[in-house]
Amino acid sequence: MMTEEGRIELKGTGDGLVIKVHIQGEFDLVKKLIQQKIEENPDFYKKATLAELTCEYLMPEDHDELQQWLFDEYQMNPAKKSRNKKNSVPETSEVSPTSKPEPIKWSKEDKERIEDETRFVQGTVRSGQKIHSDGNIVVLGDVNPGAELVAGGNIVVMGSFRGIAHAGAQGNEDTFVAALVLQPTQLRIHQTITRSPDGEFEQSKTPEIARLREKAICIEPFFIKN
């Protein structure tokens, strides 16, 4: 048998079917191998959306022909973005496709404008109060349980923070929540959410900062007393 595992990859993802051809040689052979794979489970593959088609060792025109053939034979609709994939070497840094909605992308100008915008709040933010800003929020006072801060950028509390904070609410992952005393009910950064542990736990006496590290919210001191 000509087929070897891994030489032709067929993979279902949230966006559709991903086909990767890792062999060089006759175009007909490639077609035959793909056909074999598809016939193993025709119901699953037929009429699938073709999210990605890469064939690193084939000619660009072969790529287009292959795509056309997949459409004719199996009614696979190519996804728009697959067009610029032709003949490219797979990028290792590429984020794997998921079904999650893409966060809003801000233009550079928008981003700069929003980052410059800061809302200052003086005094205690109490339960039931909700402070919203597309930019940053700085509270010169405490934030009590039941209060909510929602910012597109960063949140800084010059006092005790005990409420709910959402930093990077509009899609910025590189945001943080910092407070002199950080005891949040709940912290949200971008799309990640975390809550304080149940029961008694030791409180840090130094100011702390919460930020995303590998999709997890990490809290660490940002000022160490000498």
Q: What are phi and psi of 191, to 5 degrees?
A: -105, 10
Q: Work out the angle between the directed axes of helices 27-40 and 60-74 (0-180°, nearest 10).
A: 30
Q: Is 185 in the site for another protein (CB under 8 A)?
A: yes
Select the residue interacting with another protein from 88, 130, 206, 215 (CB under 8 A): 130
The tokens of 142 are what?
Answer: 């405490």
Select the residue interacting with another protein from 193, 204, 218, 221 (CB under 8 A): 193
Give whole-number Cα distances, 128 to 55, 145, 147, in Å: 57, 9, 5
Select the residue interacting with another protein from 77, 124, 186, 191 (CB under 8 A): 186
Do the beta carbons of residue 160 and residue 142 sit within 8 Å? yes
Select the residue interacting with another protein from 122, 196, 204, 206 (CB under 8 A): 196
Considering the complex, what minimum distance in angstroms separates the CB of residue 148 from another protein? 6
**Choice between 124 and 129, CB closer to another protein:** 129
Select the residue interacting with another protein from 118, 129, 160, 191 (CB under 8 A): 129
The tokens of 124 are what?
Answer: 């205690």
Q: How many helices (H) and strands (E) does the chain have?
A: 4, 15
Positions in the binding site for another protein (CB under 8 A)? 127-130, 145-146, 148, 185-186, 193, 195-196, 198
